[in-house]
Structure 1
Amino acid sequence: MRHWRSTAALLAILAPAACAPRGTRVPTVPVVVIGDTARPAPRDTGVIAPSPPRPTPPAPGNVPPVANATAVRVGLIVDTSAVEITSAGDFAVHTEDGREIGRLRGGQTVSFRDVGSTITMESRGGPAGSAMQPPSQAAGVGLRPPLVVRPASAGGTLTVRNAPYRGELRIQQAAGGGLTVVNRLDMETYLLGVVPREIGRFDLDIYEAIKAQAVAARTYAVTYLGRRQQQGFDVYATVEDQVYGGAAAENETVNRAVRETAGEILTYNGQPITAYYHSTCAGRTAAIDEVWNNAPVPYLVSVRDVDANGQAYDRSSSRYRWEERWTHEQMVNILNRTLADSLQNRRITRIEDMRVLERTPSERVRRLRITTDAGSFHVGRDRVRWILPPNRGGILNSSKFDINVVRRGSQVTDIIAEGGGWGHGIGMCQVGAMGRARAGQDYRTILRTYYPGTEIRKSY
């Protein structure tokens, strides 16, 4: 048994699909305190306060939209030569100043193509007699970007690459040439397409975890407003920021959780926090300075994520414990690729040893030594996940692992990593939040635990 392992049982369920990465910018946002601010959980003590009664499940039915919600710009497609947009209902193309230059019927498709400093557009399909109006715009006349596509009805959607999106789509030129498609919509509607993709499960017994995810995702997005101003949007629609599935991802339970927490964000000293989160922490989250070369952050500290019996709240995750195995030949090929910058035209032909030399307080790898016939290399922190990718592709699940080098005589034959967790380990543990919700904790308790010293406040 390795020294960082717990004795909790492994129960396999699907864990959330993505996690929010790093960021730096923290804009000023007006806030108003909601109700009483509870005392933050003690730092890194693992002491669990008595659980409140299990929250009442939401009643069925629609929740009214939120007024005055902040707008967010999502980069759906970045740097493409052409793009097609369609809709089930009528829609129109406008210039940036609001002038309508093309009106289309439901079922038609409008194509945009980059031609240097301008964009051409043309329509096709749809019912008879439904050509784009005015017809002159369908002949390939160059138009100055950006162009804005809007559905005719307030509840309409626009479809790009087979996925429907609410709000409007802006067709603009990418910084390096080509076209970028940006979905501009209000923050609350954006979250309806983010939270389902990030939390991954919609059972009512984890409803408070869904609300916690809504607040964390909203806070993350608020903090990143203007982050990519030069690219013309705020956040990517991928794991580069938060996974966004548009209208197709929406779920009634999640919709209610988003609406019931409308406008709520996490703050520290009155400012929005950078609300990192991840799938599975294997019983203990990581401080930001353990994982990345960042200065310590008072609310992104290591938290022992176990119940009163010492059982990890995220033990139900499919990646609570995991194993990866490589043959010597596979690892040689991997290292020649992932260590290429350090090798400086040398080639590895033999791996002699791999050993963890130093660990962080949350038992993640701080320094790993790889000894080869081309020299010794030291890697650590979150970078090690890219240096030792699994054979199936992607990156290593986490930096919380042990290395076992298998030998036949003096020759290395296999390398085995036995680890726990999924993601960088910073901030809220999503599967841990689910376990806390099942234990009766409400979303405020969950968030205060993972982000000590923070307050939940209304941003609008």
Structure 2
Amino acid sequence: MVQNEVLDYGPLLDKTPVVRVLLVNDKQEAQLAISGCYQITGSLTNIIDQGQGLQKCIISVNNGGINIGNKRYKNSELRITSQRDGEIELNNIRYRGEIRIMQQFNNKFSVIEEIDLESFIGGVLGSEMPPSWDEDALRAQAVTARTYAMYKKKVRRDEVYHLDMLELAYKGVAGETARLNRIVQETKGVVMVYNWNIFPAYFHSTCGGHTEDINHVFGRDSIPPLSGVSCNYCNNSKHSNWSTDISKAAIETKLREANIFVSNISTVTAINPGAGDHGSKVSITSANGSKELNANDFRLLVGPNYLFSTAFHSRSNGKNITFSGKGWGHGVGLCQYGAQAMAQKGFQWTAILKHYYPKIELVRVY
């Protein structure tokens, strides 16, 4: 590790921050099991139940109460803690922190986990990047994920949750290994800042040769760390170049689910390409005329595992659209396959981060 490139002025925060992660939202049922001693509170201090363990059961809500298995609690919110970390299992995934079950409308509920940031990053790292990859690539990913999470905690500090588990791949304890936990600890408290401001440290799988400006993709103000850089390192990704067929009917169905109505699609064209050839918009020509959508929104609606990026050319192919493109993801920030190739070439994690996020400083905040 290269410690002398990290600014360390002593702790700027007195302890590791706690983040609130949305695990379940707007659901009528979820599965819960607890493998050891636990407590349930209806407030921060009022213990209303406890036990030695809980067999797998169903969480549900009705008539103003929360049901856990055959027990009913007349509370709008329940907090569940276990005696030992990682003993609470929700929908077959084990979690370290406290979970909060919160009633919503129409007999639905959400579940939020409260967990210290380092434990959260430990659960993210192996889900966002292959655990077998080079340690410097993994260190770069840990700092990137921590920076993103800290930014979200800052901008959402007064909201019910800071992070949706879909924003960062997160599988609780399942993604952890001793090697990954060591790597997280080696970078503990380190984040990236620009002009002493934390920023949304976006990242993606494969850029295809050049990362994109945040303004081009997300319409947010451009800053040097998120303005896009040349990347000559991700050619070994199987998604550096790709081609796929997606049926016109499937595209129409996905758009209709988002209340965007088109029929008999003839063409789908990425327009206004950026430095990495990712379109900022998509133009859809159909029987309804021509319609423009934000390109990344279109990719997510169609399915990011089907339409890998918006850096594509396309052609009508009978009942399908054939998309031929490069890269996987939105193209902003760290290119993960590029980071791995840089690490294999001997670049250390600080150099990797400073390549993909120009003009940053690395600061240990706790």
Q: Shorter-chain TM-score category?
A: 0.7 to 0.9
For structure 2, list consecutive stretches of 5 or more residues without a partner in the other structure.
Answer: 8-13
- Label 1:455 to 1:403 Cα distance change in 2 as closer, same or farther (>3 A): same
TM-score (norm 2): 0.86
Q: Are 2:125 and 1:189 equivalent residues in the alignment?
A: no
Residue identity in the other structure for 1:246: G
2:251 matched residue in structure 1: 334
Aligned equivalent of 2:299, options 360, 378, 385: 385
- Cα deviation 1:155-209 (Å, max 9, x = unaligned): 4521121211112111222367522211111111111111110112323xx1101
Aligned to 2:10: none
Gapped runs of 5+ residues in structure 1?
A: 1-33, 39-66, 124-137, 307-312, 407-411
Q: Does 1:360 align with 2:241?
A: no
Confirm or deny: 8 A CA contact 1:336 1:348 kept in the other structure: no
- Matched with 1:267 is 193
Q: How does 1:144-155 map to 2 (within 5 A)?
A: 144-153=75-84, 155=85
Query: 112-121 or 192-201: which moved more?
Result: 112-121
- Deviation of 1:264 after TM superposition, in Å, equals 0.6
Q: 1:323 aligns with which of 243, 260, 264?
A: 243
Q: Deviations over 1:64-122 (max 9, x none)?
A: xxx92111111111123344432222222223232322221235456543234332445
The alpha-carbon deviation at position 291 of structure 1 amounts to 1.4
Does 2:289 match 1:375?
A: yes
Distance 1:453 1:413, change over 3 A: same
Aligned amino acid, residue 77 of structure 2: P
Larger radius of gyration: 1
Q: Kindly tell me: are residues 117 and 199 of structure 1, through their superposed partners in 2, closer, same or farther at Cα, counting changes over 3 Å? A: same
Match of 2:11 in 1: none
The residue aligned with 1:451 is 357
Q: Which structure has the highest helix share of the two?
A: 2
SS in structure 2 opposite 1:275?
A: coil
SS of match in other structure, 2:99: strand
- Structure 1 position 97 matched with structure 2 position 44: yes
| CA distance, structure 2, for counterparts of residue 242 and residue 399 of structure 1 | 20
TM-superposed deviation, 1:399: 0.9
How far did 1:219 drift?
0.8
| CA 226–83 in structure 1, closer or farther in 2 if over 3 Å, else same | farther
- Cα distance in 2 for partners of 1:359, 1:75 equals 34
**CA offsets, 1:348-390, max 9 Å, x none?**
4472x56556422322224555444442344564244257x37
Paired with 2:117 and 2:86, the residues of 1 have a C-alpha distance of 17
Letter in 2 for 1:196: G
1:250 CA displacement: 0.6
Report the RMSD for the aligned CA atoms in angstroms.
3.0
State the distance in 1 between where 2:364 and 2:105 align: 35
Report if the CA contact (8 A) 2:211-2:275 is conserved: no
Pick from 291, 294, 311 the counterpart of residue 400 of structure 1: 311
Of structures 1 and 2, the one with the larger relative CO (CA 8 A, separation 6+) is 1
In the alignment, the residues of structure 1 paired with residue 29 and residue 285 of structure 2 have an alpha-carbon distance, to the nearest angstrom, of: 48
CA distance in 2, matches of 1:357, 1:189: 41
Q: Distance in 1 between matches of 2:154 and 2:42?
A: 22
Q: Assess, with a 3 A threshold, how the Cα gap between structure 1 residues 35 and 98 changes in structure 2: closer, same or farther.
A: same
Match for 1:448: what amino acid? Answer: K
Q: 1:270 to 1:227 in 2, by over 3 A?
A: closer
In structure 2, relative to structure 1, the CA distance for the partners of 1:437 and 1:335 (3 Å cut) is same
Distance 1:317 1:177, change over 3 A: same
Q: Which residue does 2:223 correspond to in 1? A: 297
Opposite residue 359 of structure 1, the aligned amino acid is P
Cα pair distance change 1:120/1:453, threshold 3 Å: same
Structure 2: how far apart are the matches of 1:80 and 1:372?
35
Q: Which amino acid counterpart does residue 88 of structure 1 have in structure 2?
A: S
Q: Percent identity?
A: 27
Distance of 2:288 and 2:295 partners within structure 1: 23
1:161 aligns with 2:91: yes
**Secondary structure at 1:446's aligned position in 2?**
helix
